[in-house]
Structure 1
Amino acid sequence: MSNDLECAKQGFLIEVEELLTSMEDALLHLEGSPDDMEAINAVFRAAHTIKGTSGIFGFDDVVSFTHVAESLLDKIRDNEITINKELIEVLLKSGDHMSALVNEVIVNDNNISATLMRTSGELISQLNAFMQQAPSAVIIKNTAKNRVETLISDIQVVANNNWHISLRFGTEVLKQGMDPASFIKYLQQIGNIITLSVLTEKIPSLEIIDPEACYLGFEISFQTESVKEEIESVFEFVQEDCDIRIIPPNSAISRYIELIQELPEEDDLLGELLIKGQVLTSKELRNALSKQQLDNDLGDGKSIGQILVEQGVVNRDVVSAAVEKQQSVRTKKNAESRIVRVNSDKLDELINMVGELVIASASASLLANKSKQTELEEASSLVDDLVDSIRNNALSLRMVPIGETFNRFQRVVRDLSGQLGKDIGLVITGADTELDKMVVEKIGDPLMHLVRNSLDHGLEVSAQRIALGKDPQGKIHLNAYHDSGSIVIEIIDDGKGLNKAQLLAKARDKNIIEEGQVLSDDEINNLIFHPGFSTADSVSNISGRGVGMDVVKRNILALRGTVDLESTEGIGTVVRIRLPLTLAIIDGFQVGVRDDAYVIPLDMVIECVEYVTDKETENNTNQKSGYFNLRGEVLPLVKLKDHFNYVPVEDEKEVRANIVVVHYAGRKAGLVVDRLMGEFQTVIKPLGKLFSEIKGIGGSTILGSGEVALILDIQQLLQDAEEHELKHVS
């Protein structure tokens, strides 16, 4: 197998994942809005594209299964089948199966396991069962007397006794021995072609044209006594590679609107769109254009659509649909022209190189400052600014909205709430909040554990909620927002909350706490993160084995994040995860303690003040932390010399200390340091296992001098300050 073909298959796999994601989102939306035609079309397009591309690669098993699903979706589009919860369930399972099939044929060189084949057969049977519910075909005569009466009395119809056929042949039909012209001729055996428009916009320039490819499309006005199935049978041999839309005579305007929306995405003029949709003729358009030119000469310019409506040539709704189609095509083309797919490994390599560039730039800047040459210092400053811009732009390439991760839980909540017999809805806010792609990829599993726990343990069944005076439907709320240079993700439920008495009893049974030991509310809540701790009365396939929550905390800590839990019994629970925006490069504030350098994330720095002590504080040399009066506010202090156990030196030169006021998650403290060394672009380097247990250190970086500086873990330092404060109060 050639490398080019393998790359093409991997590209197809990525495309399938994107299509199935959009298909799942649309299906979940249809569960609440079953009449949303745009969502129905989105589901159909996803299945149709997967089937067509699978056919190009020769994945016949994928094509066979997807064709059945596509046929069902086509009947849904034609309003022959009504959407209900059971149908959505089968289509969701079909989407999952499509994903499994495509992965299987790519990994196993177009071979399918017996298990997947059995699943295909079961799902095809279910899909066919729904198709058998569609009403039988109705013969439509070409007389006004025998028109089919619409179910909606006030719906508007296009007064046209002709069928409309829209054809888009696949590029491979000629290579498969099919002649598009022969199908057009065969139509005349079952009726008469009134008008035929050949679409040539897809034909490329001579330099790149493939003489064996078909680029043609047709819009046909057709008279016949045949039913729709007979017309479709004309194109039976090319249905797999041809996009066919057939509109019966005297159809509702909505059918023509749908056809206009389904036309190939070509940047046509409004008039051309209307002609291709067989809504008006070329003569009517020319007459309208003459009218428009006359109005322009008189100084009363109007759009072509407005003139067509005023002359009574075209219905206003159809013109509106054509205008929307035109605008959406142009918008999408403009957006696509600005998007380039890049392998994530290349982005990671770029970030690493930018990190090395930052270190090299800092080194050059240090040497320039030592040289005392004004011109060299100015040139170095200019390079620093450029490096800073490159760094920001490079990091922005990896920033992605968290909404895609949140949306995956729509399906999780739907499926698990059904298994548990609970009525649960998912609310998403802050979906546009961006953070590093690497963080997004690694936070998915912890979020899954937390959502499943809320579903299983947190939320009650409807009967219990009604008895408690709550809304029968429980709610899980996923929220994200930026705060102090971090991103905060909240998982909120309005369930029963944590039973603190039960938590304490379980903790004592497992010897996690001693009998009589007094814990704060936060300490009691955080017991659930202890390894092997569970309050579930029984084990299910969802939760209850005492694994997961400790793994959640460990994974979040590995991302340099924190997790906190708040719960009120009978009201609900909030799990709050705080994560860094990026794991690569940050703006830092460099400080010194004796001859060592430390870096504080700049987003956590509020201000710097001089450390002035009174006699009582000076005599209290054994305390690792004290307090500082910051304009009337009591500020807990963390002395880095004491925290990191610097050995006192008798002849140490007296220095005037400074306080760096920092904040994190609504808490404040002051870090006592010897020197303030200014802002510094910090390339985060991981610590080795030897240093991983040191409290208060979150990583390391390389200075311009080549020396290593440690990055302070502000969250841990603030926690130590709080613990000291509690001990001092007690």
Structure 2
Amino acid sequence: MSADDDMREALDTFVTEARDLVQQLEDGLLELEAHPSAAETVNTVFRAAHTLKGSSGLFGLRHLVQFTHVVETVLGSVREGDLGVSPGLVSSLLPCADHIGAMIEGLAAGRLEPDAAQAAEGARLLAALEPYLPDGQGALATDGADPAGGDPAPERAWRLSLRFGPDSLRNGMDPLSFLRYLASIGTVSRVSTDAAALPAAEEMDPETCYLAFEVELLSGAPKEEIEAVFEFVREDSDIRIVPADHQLDAYVWAIRAMPESDRVGDVLIGSGVVTELEMTEALRIQQEQAARSGTQPVPIGEILVEHGIVPRPIVDAALNRQRKTTESRSQDTTTIRIDAARLDRLIDLVGELVIAQSSTGLRAGAGEAQGEVMRLVDEVRHSALALRMVPIGTTLRRFERVVRDVGVELHKEVSLVITGGDAEMDKALVERISDPLLHLVRNSLDHGIEAPAERQRHGKSGQGTLRLNAYHDAGSIVIEVSDDGRGLDRERILAKAVERGVVAAGAVLSDQEVYDLIFEPGFSTAETVSNLSGRGVGMDVVRRNVTALRGSIEVDTARGVGTTIRIRLPLTLAIIDGFLVGVGSASFIVPLDRVTECVELPPGPLGRDCMNLRGEVLPFIRLRELFDIPGEPARRQNVVIVEQSGQRTGLVVDALLGELQTVIKPLGVLFSRLKCISGSTILGSGEIALILDVGPLVADHSEREHLLRARPAA
């Protein structure tokens, strides 16, 4: 791999981390607007901006460093208590978070510099922040100077011991770039190398890093900012940052002036000589040593001295000011990022394993060993799918920003209530359902929830409520978008449908059929066209996207009370539990979560397409006729009863072949317009079986029957 490839990989890692930081920044700002005095939230958003700036500087992204520094300066004033949180401040900072996100996406697309339009937008946003900047720092927004040197903090001398890991060069890291960035946040007064660490020339590997530096730095930046410079090499390098020897007395005097009741760790962090990251690492070492020895933990101060994090005089000063000692606990949570393509490949391999296992089962019979293999394959399948399952709460919480911005635009007061955020679903589904949910949320805010004055006239609170709820139900996940607004107007929808020719005049429709008309292409009851609605584009796309995910959508509404739109989706798109049926020489898979029961087709049905099921008239679909399968039907046919949105329908088949785990294979572009088929699978025998999409199958059949019944009347 070339150096350019290594740097591109490192930059991709930065982009991934930066996206998370931007999301933290946005979530924190929204939280601050609701709870302005939340100190921990202030610290969170400040750290997000601070880390973004430091990491950007490591890659020489000057435009990102300069912009983020101004945002960080404003947030620093909030953290210090010099600036209060107000709606105006949040409204100025949120577009800045969007702009940072846009610059990050530009990096992902290969644009290392902003274009003219993006630069102009950045200047406009920074100008809006000038009223919130400390005196004398407004020029930072426009003069293009390096912001790193503009901190008003007093300069301190630091001694840095840098031992870069042997794989640093292979990972695309240039040790000299770290020294260059240090010069941008302070003055590097001395750099020395440790020549004794170098091997003999004939033993050197040109791709291995042997570099070690001793650096003296004079900087007004806090230790956290200096430490953040080395974030991308910290895991495999030895980085020590301690005060210079001639600065020890200054720290000792500062510690003596601190309150006596603080713990040692709090004293050291408060003095700026230890960062929270270093203290967390020291606590982890303390716990590991105690676990190995089985004795009382070594005092945290001794660990800090032993590992060269803090000089002895400073620890002694902190101990002298400590009045009581309390053991601290640290929870070490580690996560690992996995490339989505690798995870998809694992799922594909598990799918092939399921197919191979089914084939082996047909040939080997149901022996004890085969049963054990089947059990293990099933566990592997569940474990592999669990890797792709993520809580939907992260996606739902992103709509806090949408609700806020749309509410401001429409002059409506709306509170967002999110429940069921712990419900998990396939990450691929989460990404593809975001856009449909976005339209439903905006639609509820625009059409559903009334203006405050109108709500109060009807005896409601002036503030409306939008609820997002998610829960698991019968092998599916259900997502509800509910509002306490005006509800759907049945007569108005029906009149608009007749006017547009969607429904014949005088047609008798049930309430559900009328409400389903809002999903027709081009249908809209809005009287005016706005930025949000009125063009008749959106709800039909929502239904089409949901259907493409093998899901269904339904409406539950009450006039003057509110509306709930309910989306039901499978938990995953990769593997499903299915029920195999046969029709002539063809095989079909029915999703098992849609099957309620199986019965034999009675010899004398009530009509051509319905039967008596324990006193209930049950419509059914003959799959042989639907798919034009040649041959005579079996003497004794069966009916697989499926349920979709509360409606039960029978599927007439020749044979019931039992349950099986089904690996879904896409049909390709040629069959992309098929409404009733969601995919295919390979059976253990090597034959192909089509997977039925129950929702469109039932809806399409109902529509055809409705048209057939309407023809004689016409």
> TM-score scaled to structure 2, two decimals?
0.76
Shift of 1:364: 2.1
Q: Distance in 2 between matches of 1:179 and 1:594?
A: 86
Secondary structure of the corresponding residue to residue 15 of structure 1: helix
CA offset digits 1:553-595 (Å, max 9, x no partner): 1111111111111222211111111111111111112222344
- The answer to whether the Cα contact below 8 Å between 2:467 and 2:482 also exists between their aligned partners in 1 is yes
Note closer, same or farther for the CA distance 1:634–1:586 as it changes in structure 2 (3 Å cut): same
Secondary structure of the corresponding residue to residue 188 of structure 2: coil
Shift of 1:84: 1.0
Match of 2:127 among 109, 125, 128: 125
Partner of 2:60: 58
Partner of 1:387: 377
Partner of 2:466: 476
2:612 maps to a residue whose letter is Y
2:559 maps to a residue whose letter is E
- The answer to whether the Cα contact below 8 Å between 1:478 and 1:491 also exists between their aligned partners in 2 is yes
Shift of 1:420: 1.0
Match of 1:508 among 498, 521, 524: 498
Partner of 1:466: 456
- After superposition, residues 276-291 of structure 1 pair within 5 angstroms as none
Secondary structure of the corresponding residue to residue 661 of structure 2: strand
Match of 1:222 among 250, 255, 272: 250
Q: Distance in 2 between matches of 1:645 and 1:625?
A: 19
Shift of 1:658: 4.1
Partner of 1:73: 75
Q: Does 1:178 align with 2:188?
A: yes
Partner of 1:87: 89
Shift of 1:509: 1.9
Shift of 1:489: 0.9
Secondary structure of the corresponding residue to residue 360 of structure 2: helix
Q: Distance in 2 between matches of 1:607 and 1:186?
A: 74
**Structure 2 residue runs without a partner (length 5+):** 138-153, 163-177, 191-213, 221-226, 287-296
Secondary structure of the corresponding residue to residue 538 of structure 1: coil
Shift of 1:220: 5.7
> Equivalent pairs: percent with the same residue?
42
Match of 1:360 among 356, 360, 363: 356
- The answer to whether the Cα contact below 8 Å between 1:624 and 1:643 also exists between their aligned partners in 2 is no
Shift of 1:495: 0.9
Q: Does 1:340 align with 2:327?
A: no
Q: Does 1:420 align with 2:410?
A: yes
Partner of 2:146: none
Shift of 1:608: 4.0
- The answer to whether the Cα contact below 8 Å between 1:164 and 1:248 also exists between their aligned partners in 2 is no
Shift of 1:455: 1.2
Match of 1:15 among 14, 17, 37: 17
Q: Distance in 1 between matches of 2:448 and 2:161?
A: 52
Shift of 1:423: 0.7
Q: Distance in 2 between matches of 1:248 and 1:74?
A: 26
Partner of 2:392: 402
Q: Does 1:44 align with 2:66?
A: no
CA offset digits 1:168-192 (Å, max 9, x no partner): 97964597471499989999xxxxx
CA offset digits 1:596-642 (Å, max 9, x no partner): 32222223334445x274xxxx344851221222xx77665555445
- After superposition, residues 57-206 of structure 1 pair within 5 angstroms as 57-104=59-106, 107=109, 109-132=111-134, 172=178, 176=183, 178-179=188-189
1:266 maps to a residue whose letter is E
Partner of 1:587: 577
Note closer, same or farther for the CA distance 1:220–1:500 as it changes in structure 2 (3 Å cut): farther
1:684 maps to a residue whose letter is I
> TM-score scaled to structure 1, two decimals?
0.74
1:464 maps to a residue whose letter is E
Partner of 1:603: 593
Note closer, same or farther for the CA distance 1:382–1:217 as it changes in structure 2 (3 Å cut): farther
Shift of 1:357: 2.1
Q: Does 1:683 align with 2:698?
A: no
Note closer, same or farther for the CA distance 1:70–1:566 as it changes in structure 2 (3 Å cut): same
Note closer, same or farther for the CA distance 1:223–1:435 as it changes in structure 2 (3 Å cut): closer
Partner of 2:635: 654
Shift of 1:29: 0.7
Q: Distance in 2 between matches of 1:457 and 1:425?
A: 16
Per mean C-alpha deviation after superposition, the further-off stretch among 354-363 and 254-263 is: 254-263
CA offset digits 1:415-445 (Å, max 9, x no partner): 1111111111111111111111111111111
Q: Does 1:626 align with 2:616?
A: no
Match of 2:300 among 254, 272, 290: 272
- The answer to whether the Cα contact below 8 Å between 2:580 and 2:657 also exists between their aligned partners in 1 is yes
- The answer to whether the Cα contact below 8 Å between 1:685 and 1:701 also exists between their aligned partners in 2 is yes
- After superposition, residues 292-371 of structure 1 pair within 5 angstroms as 313-314=323-324, 323=328, 326-327=329-330, 331=331, 333=332, 335-336=333-334, 339-369=335-365
- The answer to whether the Cα contact below 8 Å between 2:155 and 2:218 also exists between their aligned partners in 1 is no
The count of aligned residue pairs is 614
Q: Does 1:560 align with 2:560?
A: no
Shift of 1:385: 2.6
Q: Distance in 2 between matches of 1:122 and 1:248?
A: 46
1:343 maps to a residue whose letter is D
- The answer to whether the Cα contact below 8 Å between 1:638 and 1:721 also exists between their aligned partners in 2 is yes
Note closer, same or farther for the CA distance 1:475–1:258 as it changes in structure 2 (3 Å cut): farther
Per mean C-alpha deviation after superposition, the further-off stretch among 259-268 and 543-552 is: 259-268
Secondary structure of the corresponding residue to residue 178 of structure 1: strand
Partner of 1:145: none
Note closer, same or farther for the CA distance 1:105–1:684 as it changes in structure 2 (3 Å cut): closer
Per mean C-alpha deviation after superposition, the further-off stretch among 103-112 and 27-36 is: 103-112
Note closer, same or farther for the CA distance 1:498–1:384 as it changes in structure 2 (3 Å cut): same
Shift of 1:48: 0.8
Shift of 1:398: 1.1
- The answer to whether the Cα contact below 8 Å between 1:165 and 1:222 also exists between their aligned partners in 2 is no
Secondary structure of the corresponding residue to residue 250 of structure 2: strand
Partner of 2:528: 538
Match of 1:576 among 549, 558, 566: 566
Note closer, same or farther for the CA distance 1:38–1:354 as it changes in structure 2 (3 Å cut): same
Q: Does 1:527 align with 2:512?
A: no
Q: Distance in 1 between matches of 2:521 and 2:390?
A: 32
2:360 maps to a residue whose letter is A
Q: Does 1:488 align with 2:488?
A: no
Computed over aligned residues only, the root mean square deviation of the Cα atoms, in angstroms, reads 4.2
